[in-house]
Amino acid sequence: MTITYRNIFAFLIYLCSPQAFAQSNDTKVYVSPFYESVMKMSPQGKLGHVIKKESVHTTIQGARAWRIAYISSDLAGRKTISTGLIVAPVGQVPKEGRPVVAWAHGTTGTAQNCGPSQLPNPAQPLNEYFLIGGNSSTDYGLPAVERFIQDGYVIVATDYQGLGGGGRHQYMVSGTQARDAINSIRAAGEMKEVGAGKRALIYGWSQGGGTVLAAASSPDYIAQKGTAFDDIEIVGFVAMAPPDVTATLNVEPDDQATAEQYIHGLIHTFSDNVFNFAHLSMTLWALPNGFSNIQLNNIFTSKGAEAINDIYSGKCIHAAADTLSYNFGNTYQALLKSPPQNALAWAQAIYSSGVNKTRPVAPVIIYWGTKDTAVPPVMGALYQKQMCQLGGNVARIQLPGEQTHFTTPPAAEPLYVPWIEDRFAGKPAQDSCLNIQ
């Protein structure tokens, strides 16, 4: 190839992009050719623009499916590439287009091979790792997908940035994942073959539940013009076991003592066992990927930072938890500095990573179980109170029986499916804030 100033300039832009920079010190992982080629692309184009797609097999009757890669952006406004999955009905498209249901998945991990669309047969009902009947080492699939296809809906499921599209995943930076979910709707709209209309709804679980709440409080981003598919109308939000760390704080921390106390409390709450610590340490690993003023060695020892980076850039969540357990046993907390450095910047990053204190643009419904030890249900209660005070319409439904974090999706499905159908039918949601003090 002839070397020109244009070649050099393009190469320098690529080196400075989050897609290239994030790969420099990461553990090498292997992905299929679709994702390998996407990771070499630059995030150029309108939000929601589909830059690559391929058909995938599905056993869902009356449906066809595609893997996609599309343009998104993170909380700081930097363009990114997200991958995902689209499942659409076959047959005639209604004049107004098909309603779109966007799925925001729960925690799968932070390495490039942790995106659910990478599974050999991803276009199927939700398949959970922990539950009897699960057939994979990770969660994948789409809850209620067969019913939604029967209803004539398009289902789109983002993998989130950093889980197959290059760049480092910003795990639990809910504003970034919210943008990925919103732009997945735009991506579905740009794909003419799926027949997507303007009306949409976002549903999600766990990490994806936080994504849902953050998306609900993103009115400006939803209304943004000049995208691949403008003027989407989101008619509702379904959040199952959603985390919202920001809800536990009334205001952003602004002094060192408050910040140190807050981080100490967060670490104490989520370090009771190695599985919860895996989620905590993965969150701490991911935050510097979204906020440039914090570093791993602020909060981890030098040994801890090296180990944590190797683990989370190379393994998905369950393998990562096993690695922590095998290598550190009950001493995993020794990977953390005590006290942490730069605590105020960390506390402010954690606060900013959650849900904006902005009235939701459409009704929100939360489903939770009494035996959820992974995401404290109090987060949802605080979120509801705060959003109701802002004039939102937020319902919070306790699931019957003693539901854990992992039984929440199947237990909630019979309840949220008709709720979603009512929203698309134009029926008004009951005001659930009337008795919230």
Paired residues of 398 in beta bridges: 368
Residue 111 near residue 312 (C-beta atoms within 8 A): yes
The reply to whether the predicted model has a pTM over 0.85 is yes
pLDDT score, position 437: 66
pLDDT score, position 11: 34
Residue 252 near residue 348 (C-beta atoms within 8 A): yes
Kindly provide the b/e burial profile for residues 12-36, where b requires at least 16 CB atoms within 10 angstroms of the residue's own CB.
Answer: eeeeebbbbebeeebeeeebeebbe
CA 345 to chain CA centroid, nearest Å: 23
For residues 172 and 159, what is the distance between their CA atoms, to the nearest angstrom?
A: 13
**C-beta neighbour count of 248 within 10 angstroms:** 19
pLDDT score, position 249: 84
pLDDT score, position 436: 80
Paired residues of 200 in beta bridges: 100, 234
Give mean pLDDT in consecutive 10-residue pieces for the chain, a chain of 437 residues: 39 38 66 97 97 97 98 97 98 96 98 97 95 93 98 98 97 98 98 98 98 98 98 98 91 90 90 94 97 96 97 96 96 94 96 95 98 95 96 97 97 98 97 85
Q: Strand 50-56 to strand 63-73: parallel, antiparallel, or no bridges (unpaired)? A: antiparallel
pLDDT score, position 72: 98
Residue 167 near residue 81 (C-beta atoms within 8 A): yes
Instruction: Indicate the SS3 state at residue 303.
Output: helix
Q: What is the DSSP string of 378-409?
A: HHHHHHHHHHHHTT--EEEEEPSS---TTTHH
Identify the H or E element spanning 182. helix 174-190
Residue 355 near residue 246 (C-beta atoms within 8 A): yes
Instruction: Indicate the SS3 state at residue 72.
Output: strand
**243, HSE (Cβ side, Cα atoms, 13 Å):** 27
**C-beta neighbour count of 407 within 10 angstroms:** 19
pLDDT score, position 290: 97
Residues 6+ apart with CB under 8 A from 243: 172, 174, 206, 207, 209, 210, 375, 379
The conformation of residue 429, written as its DSSP 8-state character, comes to P
pLDDT score, position 27: 83
Backbone angles phi, psi at 416, to 5 degrees: -80, -25
Could you tell me the domains of the chain? 17-244+357-424 (3.40.50.1820), 249-352 (no CATH)
For residues 377 and 436, what is the distance between their CA atoms, to the nearest angstrom?
A: 16
For residues 5 and 15, what is the distance between their CA atoms, to the nearest angstrom?
A: 15
- Is the preceding peptide bond at 339 cis, omega within 30 degrees of 0? yes
Number of helical H runs and strand E runs in the chain: 15, 9
pLDDT score, position 12: 37
For residues 305 and 325, what is the distance between their CA atoms, to the nearest angstrom?
A: 16
**How far lies 379's CA from each of 242, 320, 334, in Å?**
8, 25, 28
